[in-house]
């Protein structure tokens, strides 16, 4: 016999998913109606307009790896733990490890960009400063 708590949790989750599916179906229906109205309006202005020529514009979804303020906290921790200046790539690697994203290649450019933005922000506030090492690599340390 199945555990009552497990079955209750699964039933609740199923109800949530069915509700979300119904909401999305309503949204798709509404968007379809809006599209039909828009196309009808376009045909009023130009009956010869070929609607298939209009390119589809897809929304890109931003991958958000950090909660609000989390990246800054992790960067500050890494700077605090570093005994000397820490190279940018080592800092990015530390952030990837902290988030458990070492094996996700698509996370690397996003994490790097976010970390460098945080470092520049900290530098503007006088909390961190950058150094150019002898081999041309940029490193960061606390001020």
Q: And the tokens for 28?
A: 């798709």
Between CA 61 and CA 88 the distance in angstroms is 26
Residue 60 forms part of a structural domain: no
Can you give the CATH number for the domain in which 98 is found? 1.10.10.10
Tell me: do 45 and 101 sit in the same domain: no
Tell me: do 47 and 87 sit in the same domain: no
Residue 86 forms part of a structural domain: yes
Number of domains in the chain: 2
Predicted model pTM: 0.57
Tell me: do 49 and 107 sit in the same domain: no
pLDDT single digits (tens) 25-75? 999 999 999 999 999 999 899 988 888 888 888 887 777 888 889 999 999
Q: And the tokens for 68?
A: 């609000």
Tell me: do 18 and 45 sit in the same domain: yes
How many of the other CB atoms lie within 10 Å of CB of 96? 19
Tell me: do 47 and 20 sit in the same domain: yes
Structural domain span for residue 39: 4-53
pLDDT single digits (tens) 75-104? 999 999 988 899 999 999 999 999 998 888
Residue 40 forms part of a structural domain: yes
Tell me: do 79 and 114 sit in the same domain: yes
């Amino acid at each position: 016999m199945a555990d009552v708590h497990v079955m209750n949790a699964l039933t609740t989750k199923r109800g949530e998913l069915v509700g979300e599916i119904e909401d999305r179906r309503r949204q798709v229906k509404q968007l379809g109606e809006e599209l039909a109205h828009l196309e009808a309006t376009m045909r009023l202005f130009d009956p010869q307009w070929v609607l298939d020529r209009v390119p589809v514009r897809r929304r890109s979804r931003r991958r958000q790896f950090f909660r609000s303020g989390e990246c800054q906290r992790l960067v500050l921790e890494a700077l605090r733990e570093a005994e000397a200046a820490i190279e940018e790539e080592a800092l990015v690697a530390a952030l990837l490890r902290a988030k458990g994203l070492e094996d996700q290649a698509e996370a690397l450019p996003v994490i790097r960009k976010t970390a460098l933005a945080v470092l520049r922000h900290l530098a503007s506030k006088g909390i961190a400063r950058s150094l150019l090492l002898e081999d041309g690599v940029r490193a960061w340390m606390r001020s």
